[in-house]
Structure 1
């Protein structure tokens, strides 16, 4: 249970509320008796519990944002774009959603008199491929030009804007806006829609034939329910009853159990009946392949918007050690992560028909994908000398 107080009289709005984390947060708040509003461009894929309100809207449209936040006590801003896969390569939408959209949320809170804003940020605001062991919130933001992807760069800009807005006088004269930011690790849990289905898809298509990086490299993950807990605690700590102790602060959030990225997913691979790969390749090689893939996507993406196997940022995030201390979150928020594993995730996929089975269609699809990418690679390689001449 969280230590949230007065939750029954509060109204919360969640941007990106139809997403995996946003919807889970909404259901948790709703169960505690809060009034919850989901703000998203798409309706949730799951049944919305009675009492939770859904508002279709775009954070890139300021008028829609200010209308949605009017009458709200606290905003959880979790909407973002470009976290993984081909989305990472769409710089225009990434900038519109992550930077402009966040500015709209901050401005709307000030105009509508919303006193609390909790921003869902990312580890990536300080990480760009360098080794970090037990880092804390005293680490500086990674210089913007060193970010290997536009998502991390824009999330960093957005977090800075949210933190800087803390203390801004509300236009209704009721005091100042109190803001904080949470920096989660990779999110997992049953029903997660962004990363896990992609990983399972790679496993089932036969792409997962190797691992890479030092087997001693460590990263972190956060179960969705631990992340929900952290957000609720952060919102609570913004209240006057707790001296607004989280105002203007950022916090790293994870399960608190650094683990090798590939070993973390071993239970999923083997739980679905597949063999864990024995071949290990160097990070530098995989990074180079990811770079070439991004070049290919940049050239022919408008015609054939294929899903990159990995992007450069994903290589760093999975193959280079980076984990963080949660001493600050524990001391100031009272955050104590619960222990979870991938058992429930495996069962979730099995219940939906996933698992090792003779599937000629998967093999055929894999062969077609390989042939298409090989042809595209040959096309680009034949084109490069002309560009350089």
Structure 2
């Protein structure tokens, strides 16, 4: 009887490796001596030694091909939270994740690290120093969050020490950094249209923003500490910069760094939230006739006007996590990476 050769622990696959977080993760894994395969719906770059597989997450055969001889899988594929395509969230975050788990199990993958989100416990009200023990949101703030909750449950419940399949979920919050196609470009576009003059609420609300390299560091630490006798098995971990900052101070630092004015006029939080809720309901009612996409959604108002920051104590204790890049340095490096978005350019 032939002996089955276990894949090398340094052979890994990054599902969603063409995205913002995925590319940073791939580059750091290569630095650390891993052999990396990327599976994504598109290929956005080339790197020596990286094998790219272009395919649909719901195509199990394509996944099985990409996961040949792989022992570790990072699953960070997800539509952008700003999307309003409910069917796409369901397909990628839930149906696709279910197929990822099946493909991993069939290929004998030993570890699966999921990129989840700290928003899985957020309902639009204040969270201060939130722990992982907080219950999942009963009323998620959007469909992205609703499907991320389902996704995280699927991955963590699939953990099976007896069968040699270990899983862990990383919950980052407010990822930013060079090459980010979302936060900074959207912020600058809003400023250029003259819509970044107002602060929602009194401006005192603290939020976690996490530099992308710190998120990558948390993923790799989790993978390397994920063993049958470790506390990581089937658990979720918050990964942040561990430096809560006033939401509007962070936005102002990025804007001013790029030459734009910081917002300075205050609007009452409850008033803005009420207007956003009304506009959202109107858009929902009119959807069969006309498609309206309000700029201010209840989710965006809640994210901008409430406290939501999380404890990294569990990650510190169980895997020795410490953010390598400070918030100040992360903002500086991010601003410097967008010379083309400076005012006047």
Q: Which has the larger radius of gyration?
A: 1
Counterparts of residues 267-282 of structure 1 (less than 5 Å) = 267-282=253-268
**Separation (CA, whole Å) in 2 of partners of 1:188 and 1:348:** 12
Number of the residue aligned with 1:349: 338
> Among residues 140, 144, 155, which one is paired with 1:162 in the alignment?
155
**Separation (CA, whole Å) in 1 of partners of 2:20 and 2:57:** 18
Return the TM-score normalized by structure 1.
Answer: 0.81
Q: 1:112 to 1:303 in 2, by over 3 A?
A: farther
Q: 1:12 to 1:279 in 2, by over 3 A?
A: same
Give the stretch that moved more between structures: 287-296 or 225-234.
287-296
**How many residues were matched structurally?**
336
Matched, 1:185 2:186: no
How far is the alpha carbon of 1:295 from its aligned partner? 4.1
Number of the residue aligned with 1:74: 72
Residue aligned with 1:50, SS: coil
Number of the residue aligned with 1:385: none
Number of the residue aligned with 1:65: 63
Residue aligned with 1:250, SS: strand
Number of the residue aligned with 2:321: 335
> Among residues 313, 323, 326, which one is paired with 2:312 in the alignment?
326
Q: Which deviations, in whole Å up to 9, do the C-alpha atoms of 1:264-316 show, x marking residues without a partner?
A: 12111112222212211122222233334434554666887666423221221
**Separation (CA, whole Å) in 1 of partners of 2:184 and 2:126:** 25
**Separation (CA, whole Å) in 1 of partners of 2:153 and 2:161:** 14
**Separation (CA, whole Å) in 1 of partners of 2:240 and 2:10:** 27
Unpaired runs of 5+ residues, structure 1, are 1-6, 170-174, 360-389
**Is this contact kept in 1: 2:243–2:327, CA < 8 A?**
no
Number of the residue aligned with 1:225: 213
Q: Which deviations, in whole Å up to 9, do the C-alpha atoms of 1:349-368 show, x marking residues without a partner?
A: 22x2x2223x9xxxxxxxxx
**Is this contact kept in 1: 2:210–2:327, CA < 8 A?**
no
**Separation (CA, whole Å) in 2 of partners of 1:297 and 1:56:** 35
Matched, 1:315 2:310: no
**Is this contact kept in 1: 2:39–2:66, CA < 8 A?**
yes
> Among residues 86, 89, 96, which one is paired with 1:94 in the alignment?
89
Matched, 1:28 2:28: yes
**Separation (CA, whole Å) in 2 of partners of 1:34 and 1:114:** 15
Unpaired runs of 5+ residues, structure 2, are 1-6
